[in-house]
Amino acid sequence: MKRKDTVKLISADEMEFIIDKDAAMVSQTIGGFAEMELGEVTFPEISAVILEKICQYFYWALQYSRGKETEFHIEPELTLELMMAPNYLHT
Amino acid sequence: MGCENIEFDQGWGEMEKGIEKLKRILAGEKETPFTSREYMTLYTTIYNMCNQKAPHDYSEQLYDKYKKTLDEYITSIVLPSLKDKHDEFMLRELVERWLNHKIMVKWLTRFFHYLDRYFIIQKSVPALNEVGTTCFLNLVYEDVHPTVQDIVLSLIDKEREGDQIDRALLKNALEIFVEMGLGQMNRYQDDFEARFLQETTNYYSRKASKWIEEDSCPDYLLKSEECLKKEVDRVSSYLHSSSETKLIKKVQHELLVVYVNQLLEKEDSGIKVLFRDDKVDDLSRTYRVYNKISQGLDLVANVFKQHVTIEGTAFVQQAEEATSNQASNTPGGHEQVLVKNILELHDNYMTYLNSCFQNHNLFQKALKEAFEVFCNKTVNGSPSAEILASFADHILRKGGSEKLSDEVIEETLEKVVKLLQYVIDKDVFAEFYRKKLARRLLFDRGTNDDHERSILSKLKQQFGAPLTSKMEGMVTDVVLAKEHQSSFQEYLRNNPDVHPGLDFTVTVLTTGFWPSYKWFDLSLPSEMVKCVKVFKGFYETKTKHRKLTWIFSLGTSHINGKFEPKPIELIVSTHQAAVLLLFNASERLSYSEIVAQLNLAHDDLIRLLHSLSCAKYKILNKEPSSKSISQSDSFKFNPNFTDKMRRIKVPLPPVDERKKVIEDVDKDRPYAIDAAIVRIMKSRKVITHQQLISETIEQLSRMFKPNIKAIKKRIEDLITRDYMERDRDNSHMFRYLA
């Protein structure tokens, strides 16, 4: 996995998630950030748990757009916080 | 997701910091690029400020601030920088500022992106991007665009005159015009293109008027081609692609359409000269260049047609004058030359048609029309149809005067057939050709059957069977006659008692195929009478129901003349022979005696006697020995006649059949018209007057061009003969009566 094609997402509690750039692009905001430099984005307001779920969502969204229509399961406890994120991230 | 509301000023303070940093970056000052952290902070600030509950939802204020930021930036920095610059520098500055502006908008849009997602839709206000462009448009563009236009146009002018200019700069500048249209091309078109096209028109109009005076036709065309190339290049380099068609059209018009006639008809270098000097490249260029202009080729084809017509007509003139200036040594020699010239002309121009003009049908048409003009002129009293027939005749007589090879003959005959398509009165040609064919078949012993058949099949292919059916019959007749003759010889061998004592050949012809010949009630010498009887007997054994009519005027006789110096064999026509044999009985005869014995008309007899006594060979002596025959003359056998040859041919002067041929053809035309009309009526049943006339003309066009009065006359005639009737309700309609 080449360095260049990945993006690092850092949560509020400093957990690092490295995902493909393609996946990250699902979020228009991150897409905009990632254009800058370093390929590293920090989200001081998003916790690691949420961020993890978000990364999963990115991959699922990619799969879905490529034709694989599966379900995306969300644990109910996460839903409230999870819903704020997309607004911010524009996904 | 903190719960404290951010106060507007506080939040805006954060934004200001970012914006100032951005400005510094744009101004080229030393500044670190934005980190993602900084970016995120700015974005988040906006995000938060917009998501706060009212009255802390600052979306609208942020939107206004965004706009104000841009306005302020432009007013404080951009405008001043443009103010004191001119020309190219101003252009450069403008382009730079625009690029900077775009970058600023891009970044700000990113920061303020959240507004784009909800606020603008909610409030139906323009998106951030659009706002960005609009600010620039209102504050900068509106002010400067006339000046910019001037600068751009003057740069283009410079380039046209040969200077190098900064093309990238122009490209960028013109892009501004396009982008200011916010998706429409109207700014580009109104603020730049319109005047650009106008100036282009003026520029090329000036150039054209100069060049047309100074340059030769090929040079002018070269220059035009160059200019067009350059303009296309210009479009691809820095103009907007939508300008291309309009631009090219204008340039083409100014350079090529306005002056086309003057150009192509230039004295020393126009089309005439190009043809004369075989300048294939220049001609091809002319075609290429004019092909791209709609209806451009019409103009060129026109000039082409005129040129060909003039050349052809000149040849015709030449022939006319040559014959009137001097007595030609070969009768019709100038006409032969004329046909040769015309054929050559045709070949030449067909080559041009194929090589330079891509066999374009406009030019084909022009060529055809040109040839039709001069191929139907009468030269020295002979209609062109006759001239062409004589030409063909000439070739077919033992290969003409020069020994031509078979291929050359075939080729020439092919060309003659081609030329015939331009002659309108094809039936006149057919008649002349038929008469000459008859003479060739009967008198010219060296005729080549293959060539004869080949030209007939070519004619049939091109013009249809009616033209050639009779002639084919004639050729077949001659072949059949040979067979008849051999069976006749056998008959004589088997019945030696009926042999008349003379060696003779009979050629039996089918009346319908051959031209009509005058019939003379000639009193034959007794030896010949016997021959006729014998053959009649033989023929009756072959077929019972046919009638034989003897045309002695077409026959040939070989007579041995016992002259004092030496005996000479005379080859004469049967009529001439009849005259000469009278002198076997008496030494001297008067004109009236001869008339009584032969039973011939005066005109014919005079001709005969002339050929025997006043022409080259004086076989008979005439008293008085004048040059012409009168009815009071008397004739004596000339025993002292001699010639260095042992065998001579005594020709008869040819009768001028021209008038007769034309009369005959004219007589047949009404029948052809009738037949055509009936054919049409039979298939259509009902037809209008106009249509009937046009269809009749079309059907008959293969043979001749009927005139409308004649057609009308025939229609009336057919009505009286109950072939058709006028429709009761509509006098312009006709109905077929079965």
> Does B648 reside within a domain?
yes
**Interchain CB contact of B47 with A (< 8 Å):** yes
Residues B567 and B678 in one domain: no
> Does B677 reside within a domain?
yes
**Interchain CB contact of B33 with A (< 8 Å):** yes
Q: Do A38 and B1 touch (CB under 8 A)?
A: no
Q: Residue B602 is part of a domain; what is its CATH number? A: 3.30.230.130
> Does B709 reside within a domain?
yes
Q: How far apart are CA B512 and CA B529, in angstroms?
A: 26
The answer, yes or no, to whether residue A91 has pLDDT greater than 50, is yes
Q: Note the pLDDT of residue B372.
A: 86
Q: Do B40 and A41 touch (CB under 8 A)?
A: yes
Residues B38 and B178 in one domain: yes
Residues B95 and B232 in one domain: no
Residues B35 and B94 in one domain: yes
Can you read off the two tokens belonging to residue B234?
């210009």
Q: Is the ipTM of this complex over 0.90?
A: no
Domains of chain A: 4-82 (3.30.710.10)
Contacts of B694 (CB under 8 A, 6+ apart): none
In this complex, which of B2, B34, B47 lies closest to A88 when CB atoms are compared?
B47
The answer, yes or no, to whether residue A74 has pLDDT greater than 60, is yes
The answer, yes or no, to whether residue B399 has pLDDT greater than 70, is no
Can you read off the two tokens belonging to residue B527?
């030896």
Best residue of B40, B51, B110 to probe chain A, by most A CBs closer than 10 Å: B40
Lowest mean pLDDT among B194-198, B328-332, B699-703: B328-332
Is residue B382 within 8 A of residue B324, CB to CB? The reply is: no
Helices (H) and strands (E) in chain B, counts: 32, 9
Residues B723 and B647 in one domain: no
Can you read off the two tokens belonging to residue B420?
């015939």
> Does B450 reside within a domain?
no
> Does B405 reside within a domain?
no
Residues B62 and B12 in one domain: yes
Residues B40 and B163 in one domain: yes
Q: Residue B716 is part of a domain; what is its CATH number? A: 1.10.10.10
Residues B116 and B246 in one domain: no
Residues B698 and B618 in one domain: no
In this complex, which of A28, A36, A45 lies closest to B39 when CB atoms are compared?
A36
Give pTM, 2 decimals: 0.66
Residue A29 C-alpha, separation from nearest chain B C-alpha, in angstroms: 8
> Does B444 reside within a domain?
no
Comparing alpha-carbon positions, the chain B residue that sits nearest to A91 is B117
pLDDT in tens, B691-704: 888 999 888 888 88
pLDDT in tens, A25-71: 777 777 666 555 556 777 777 788 888 888 888 888 888 887 777 77
Give the structural domain span for B265.
191-294
Q: How far apart are CA A20 and CA A9, in angstroms?
A: 10
Q: Do A32 and B2 touch (CB under 8 A)?
A: no
Residue B19 C-alpha, separation from nearest chain A C-alpha, in angstroms: 16
> Does B595 reside within a domain?
yes
The answer, yes or no, to whether residue B329 has pLDDT greater than 50, is no
Lowest mean pLDDT among B400-404, B411-415, B460-464, B569-573: B400-404
Q: Which of B599, B629, B655 is the last residue of a domain?
A: B655
Comparing alpha-carbon positions, the chain A residue that sits nearest to B106 is A32
Sole residue written with tokens 């909610």: B122
> Does B512 reside within a domain?
no
The answer, yes or no, to whether residue B435 has pLDDT greater than 70, is yes
Q: Which of B141, B157, B183 is the last residue of a domain?
A: B183
Residues B702 and B585 in one domain: no
Q: Which of B655, B676, B697 is the last residue of a domain?
A: B655
Residues B664 and B649 in one domain: no
Conformation bin of residue B399: beta by default, left when phi > 0, alpha when psi is -120 to 50: left
Phi, then psi, of A19 in degrees rounded to 5: -130, 165
Q: Residue B64 is part of a domain; what is its CATH number? A: 1.20.1310.10
**Interchain CB contact of B539 with A (< 8 Å):** no
Lowest mean pLDDT among B197-211, B385-399, B575-589: B385-399
Which residues of chain A neighbour B52 with C-beta distances below 8 Å?
A: none
| DSSP output for B143-195 | HHHHHHHHHHHHHHHHHHTT----HHHHHHHHHHHHHHTTTSSHHHIIIIIHH
